[in-house]
Amino acid sequence: MDVSWESSVTDSINTIYLLFSAYLVFVMQLGFAMLCAGSVRAKNAMNIMLTNVVDAVVGSISYYLFGFAFAFGGSSNPFIGTSYFALASIPDGTYDYSFFLYQWAFAIAVAGITSGSVAERTQFTTYLIFSFFLTGFVYPIVAHWVWSSSGWLSPSSSNLLFGSGAIDFAGSGVVHMVGAVAGLWGSFIEGPRVGRFDAFGKPVPMRGHNATLVVLGTFLLWFGWFGFNPGSFDKILVSYPSTSDQGNWTAIGRTAVTTTLAGSTAGIVTLFGRRLIVGHWDALDVCNGLLGGFVAVTSGCSVVEPWAAIVCGFVSAWILIGLNVLALQLQFDDPLEATQLHGGCGAWGLIFTGLFAKEEFVIQAYDSGESGVTRPYGLFLGGGWGLLGSQVVELLSIVAWVTITMGPLFYALHKLRILRISVEEEVAGLDISSHGGYAYAAHPEENQPRFYAEYMRLQSNYS
Amino acid sequence: MASLSCAATDLTPLLGGTTTNATALANFLCTRFDSISNTLSDASYAINSTYLLFSAYLVFAMQLGFAMLCAGSVRAKNTMNIMLTNVLDAAAGGISYYLFGFAFAFGSPSNGFIGKHFFGLKDVPSSSFDYPFFLFQWAFAIAAAGITSGSIAERTQFVAYLIYSSFLTGFVYPITSHWFWSVDGWASASKPTNLLFGSGAIDFAGSGVVHMVGGIAGLWGALIEGPRIGRFDHTGRSVILRGHSASLVVLGSFLLWFGWFGFNPGSFLTIMKAYGESGSYYGQWSAVGRTAVTTTLAGCTAALTTLFGKRLLSGHWNVTDVCNGLLGGFAAITSGCSVVDPWAAIICGFVAAWVLIGFNVLAEKLKFDDPLEAAQLHGGCGAWGLIFTGLFAGKKYVNEVYPGSPDRPYGLFMGGGGKLFAAQLIQILVIFGWVSFTMAPLFYGLHKINLLRVSTDDEMAGMDLTRHGGFAYVYHDEDDSHKAGFMLRKIEPSTSPTNQSLNVSV
């Protein structure tokens, strides 16, 4: 049977849209690499950048072999997918390669988040192990629950939780909270970096080595977020029957606007908030605040009004500031503040959606704008408790699932003494001790050690 | 969804035996055609939205490019400050442009001076505007404020920066864009009736609206503030204050070039439009491609001309000068990119390079210090770009891009008379006047209440240390020199210069 003209055109347009969105999400990998590099000390730059590269390359293999299958396979199991291993029978009527690539770009982002929490003190071999496991198993299961039409939390399932399903459009929970909770356990089990808290428990600032890279990374992440959020519509050519000129293209534009407004608001609020608290205008805090706003709006970006996105960003800025204060008091050390940002702001994002989702937009996103359909929507807009309840269930399930999978893994690695590096290696820096040399050779005329044995020899010369 | 197929077997029941049920037949056919038409309409919305959205994302990438260009062009001790100004441009601009900037710019129907609908995006989406258009215009708005920050870099108080940036993005820039880009604007080339000089000014993607506005605002800021300490010595000789990273300058320039592919071609807003007969290979998609080509050629020519020009003038091959020349070429072609032939774009770039070199020489003679040479580049090359359009705009292209008024004026050198050229001159004068009228008093007022320039001590130490919590670069841990023990005291930023290394490269 010949393919009809109409479906060729539709499929081409949708594929272009999804593929370019996937490329944008991939750019976020570069952005996160730069953000990480700039936020750690110079002696650990090689290490953290390599972990980001490894996330992408190792994650590709595990996600291709079985991660995508666990996430999107099968049509009946609400917990885990059971088909499409190694992309068998793709393309079929439901999924094509462009969809796989798009989902792959999401999957490799998750492990990157965790790498920030355990930065500067984790053994590289361990990193390979948990990254593979997180991207290939832990994350895809959560994705299945929320994003597969058979998932038990999905708003597209035939058996909607609380009559609603949980709305996590581009993954405040599925992506950001999963990465953050894993990072929480890794960082907590490992303990703070050497020298981070002094003998009295007071925090010692450990500044990143390059603010330019942090800003570069933040802007690249912002740029890539235009693929992350609006791209999650998957198809742009879907018209809404009750209108004459609106369709997914309208909602996609609106999603890009809500994304921008949430991040912008969070950035500005962080600017003035930190100015009040620490007395100066801090570029790095503003960058983190911005990202927190994006993380938070990721859940509800497609189903809220632009003004609500401003509220989202405003609250997420204070949540990040507050959680950072709490972390210091609890002597919790996360070099990228990834747990606080992705976990805290991600959780707020889920709640925010349960409060502010608009029914018309929910129907656009999940029922292609069909008329005569009703759905639970935001509590503050009069939509009842069904949606908010589902959001809370999603939040708790993610925390529980990631804890029972990654917690014991990190603990076992810790007990086997392959999680954290030794104190000497940490003081020397991972680059010289495990990665063959420093990232920067700014002063070649100085007596810089070229490899670890030389470094140790120089140390003993000093003392 | 209704079927789009149409087969004879569908029609024969309606034709019956000997009678033809004409009405039913007609209704049947018309319904089918309506379905096809609706599907096509949906497809064109999807195509155009995809095109405009991705163009908007590219223009946003220019924000990053400009941040990196700025960072690399200033001294290391001011890096945090300039990058924060770029981040804030985007963030604060997002809010002010959403709340009222977009309304002032595009709020039709209104008067020729200022718009008055769509505050807070009320009534969007409408038949005239959808969200992708807002996002695209937002990306432009935040670019203008970024330009100004380059002129006043390294010596401006952050509070002053917040004030002028909100004012520029929320008011001065939107009003300017209303005049030249809104269908109501008094000087707009897309006005349906009563065009200025029968022509309207053609500033397709904003050599004037964006680049001149940013550049002239920067001119006043830098003039009123005065040069950086040490820029001109007591005998009046100029001292080069080199930026701290050529790599960042190149990174930023390439990102700006990349983003310009959204800035210029994206200004068509839609791509699915035929020119003349449908079914031909020539349509707006061709014009979009041609615009990307003219953009590229102008930038390349300007860069090459600068390369050889500076080799003659200063004796060596200078990468940062070439990058600035490249950007000057882009700033100039931005006005006429869609309405000129590719060969004309080469001329545009060639002249832009000399305009920039000339303005830089003039700036030094007049002791005008602009760390990014933003006023010379965006102001000077932007103005040249407007003139260039008035000389070289082609008849066919002008009528395709601005349909509705055939026999309208076009480029002077192309036989189109002097009216377009005159309109371009008016645009230059009006932008210079409006921006001076609004921004010069603002900068002067800030100066008078001591809010504009930082103190001498702050400037010598570097604003990162004094206002932003510390240096951007920390290549060696503070505890590297303490081999025996761990840090037991908190590091406080000190106001006297430390032994931190400032000669770092990325």
Token pair for A459: 């140390």
Span A59-77, average pLDDT: 90
Q: Does A260 touch chain B (CB under 8 A)?
A: yes
For residue A4, being part of any structural domain is answered with: no
Q: What is the CATH number of the domain that holds A165?
A: 1.10.3430.10
Q: Nearest CB to A215: which of B53, B67, B470?
A: B67
CB contact under 8 A, A307 and B470: no
Which residues pair with residue B201 across a beta bridge?
B188
CB contact under 8 A, B46 and A257: no
| A245 min Cα distance to partner chain B (Å) | 7
CB contact under 8 A, A283 and B467: no
Q: Do A390 and A444 share a domain, yes or no?
A: no
Q: Does A9 touch chain B (CB under 8 A)?
A: yes
Length of chain A: 463
DSSP state at residue B481: G
Q: Do A158 and A283 share a domain, yes or no?
A: yes
CB contact under 8 A, B57 and A211: no
Q: Does B505 touch chain A (CB under 8 A)?
A: yes
Query: B7 pLDDT band (50/70/90 cuts)?
Result: low
Predicted local confidence at residue B496, as pLDDT: 47
Span A84-109, average pLDDT: 90
Predicted local confidence at residue B491, as pLDDT: 55
Q: Nearest CB to B95: which of A207, A230, A265?
A: A265
Q: Is A445's pLDDT higher than 80?
A: no
Query: B240 pLDDT band (50/70/90 cuts)?
Result: confident
Span A390-417, average pLDDT: 96
Each residue's pLDDT tens digit, B369-403? 999 999 999 999 999 999 999 999 999 999 999 99
For residue A264, list chain B residues with Cβ-Cβ distance below 8 A: 90-95
Span B1-11, average pLDDT: 62
For residue A393, being part of any structural domain is answered with: yes
Span B210-219, average pLDDT: 97
Of residues A444 and B179, more confidently modeled: B179
Predicted local confidence at residue B129, as pLDDT: 86
What is the distance between the alpha carbons of residues B440 and B353, in angstroms, rounded to a whole number? Answer: 28
Q: Which residue of A has its CA nearest to B98?
A: A261
Closest alpha carbon to B369 in B185, B68, B203, B152: B152
What pTM was computed for the model? 0.86
Query: B451 pLDDT band (50/70/90 cuts)?
Result: very high
For residue A172, being part of any structural domain is answered with: yes
CB contact under 8 A, A219 and B49: no
Q: Do A351 and A430 share a domain, yes or no?
A: no
Query: A448 pLDDT band (50/70/90 cuts)?
Result: low
Q: Does A248 touch chain B (CB under 8 A)?
A: yes
Query: B482 pLDDT band (50/70/90 cuts)?
Result: very low
Query: A294 pLDDT band (50/70/90 cuts)?
Result: very high
Predicted local confidence at residue B5, as pLDDT: 65
Q: Nearest CB to A207: which of B130, B470, B483?
A: B470
Across A422-431, B117-126, B460-469, least confident range: B460-469
Q: Which residue of A has its CA nearest to B131?
A: A253
Q: Do A101 and A155 share a domain, yes or no?
A: yes
Residues 41-100 of B with CB under 8 A from A: 41-43, 45-50, 53-54, 56-57, 60-61, 63-64, 67-68, 71, 79-81, 83-84, 86-88, 90-95, 98
For residue A208, being part of any structural domain is answered with: yes
**Domain coverage including residue A435:** 421-463
| A80 min Cα distance to partner chain B (Å) | 33
Span B442-449, average pLDDT: 96
For residue A280, being part of any structural domain is answered with: yes
CB contact under 8 A, A265 and B475: no
Q: Do A338 and A277 share a domain, yes or no?
A: yes
Predicted local confidence at residue A362, as pLDDT: 95
Q: Is B155's pLDDT higher than 50?
A: yes
Q: Nearest CB to A256: which of B39, B53, B488?
A: B53
| B504 min Cα distance to partner chain A (Å) | 7
Q: Nearest CB to A307: which of B81, B120, B501?
A: B120
For residue A210, list chain B residues with Cβ-Cβ distance below 8 A: 472-474, 506
Q: Do A90 and A26 share a domain, yes or no?
A: yes
Q: Is A329's pLDDT higher than 50?
A: yes
Query: B408 pLDDT band (50/70/90 cuts)?
Result: very high
Q: What is the mean pLDDT of chain B?
A: 88
| A328 min Cα distance to partner chain B (Å) | 14
Closest alpha carbon to A250 in B380, B167, B45, B39: B45
Question: A404, A420, A436: which is the final residue of a domain?
Answer: A420
Question: A420, A436, A452: which is the final residue of a domain?
Answer: A420
Q: What is the separation, in whole angstroms, between the first and last Cα of chain A? A: 81
Q: Is B101's pLDDT higher than 90?
A: yes
Each residue's pLDDT tens digit, A223-240? 999 999 999 999 999 999
Q: Does A401 touch chain B (CB under 8 A)?
A: no
Span B407-421, average pLDDT: 94
Query: B440 pLDDT band (50/70/90 cuts)?
Result: very high
Predicted local confidence at residue A56, as pLDDT: 87
- Helices A283-297/A5-39 angle, 10° precision: 150
Query: B478 pLDDT band (50/70/90 cuts)?
Result: low
Predicted local confidence at residue A256, as pLDDT: 96
How many structural domains does chain A have? 2
Q: What is the mean pLDDT of chain A?
A: 91
Token pair for A228: 């992350």
Length of chain B: 506
Q: Do A378 and A436 share a domain, yes or no?
A: no
For residue A4, list chain B residues with Cβ-Cβ distance below 8 A: 4
CB contact under 8 A, B475 and A440: yes
For residue A243, being part of any structural domain is answered with: no
Q: Does B138 touch chain A (CB under 8 A)?
A: yes
Number of CB pairs, chain A paired with chain B, less than 8 A apart: 213
Predicted local confidence at residue B487, as pLDDT: 43
The kind and range of the H/E element at B345 are helix B342-365
Cβ neighbours of residue B83 under 8 Å, at least 6 residues apart?
A211, A212, A215, A283, B67, B70, B71, B472
Of residues A434 and A394, more confidently modeled: A394
For residue A260, list chain B residues with Cβ-Cβ distance below 8 A: 94, 135, 138
Span B91-98, average pLDDT: 90
Q: Is the dihedral of CA B363, B364, B370, B373 positive or negative?
A: positive
Q: Does A326 touch chain B (CB under 8 A)?
A: no
For residue A2, being part of any structural domain is answered with: no
Q: Do A316 and A334 share a domain, yes or no?
A: yes
Q: Do A165 and A178 share a domain, yes or no?
A: yes
Q: Does A328 touch chain B (CB under 8 A)?
A: no
Span B145-171, average pLDDT: 91
Predicted local confidence at residue A54, as pLDDT: 86
Across A39-48, A431-440, B363-372, least confident range: A431-440
Predicted local confidence at residue B490, as pLDDT: 55
Each residue's pLDDT tens digit, B279-320? 778 889 999 999 999 999 999 999 999 999 999 998 888 889
Interface test with B, best of A34, A254, A264, A275 (most B CBs within 10 A): A264
Predicted local confidence at residue B439, as pLDDT: 97
Residues 186-205 of A with CB under 8 A from B: 194-195, 198-199, 202, 204-205
- The burial class, CB within 10 Å (0-12 / 13-18 / 19+), for B315 is exposed
For residue A11, being part of any structural domain is answered with: no
Q: Do A77 and A187 share a domain, yes or no?
A: yes
Q: Do A325 and A446 share a domain, yes or no?
A: no
Q: Do A139 and A154 share a domain, yes or no?
A: yes
Span A290-299, average pLDDT: 97
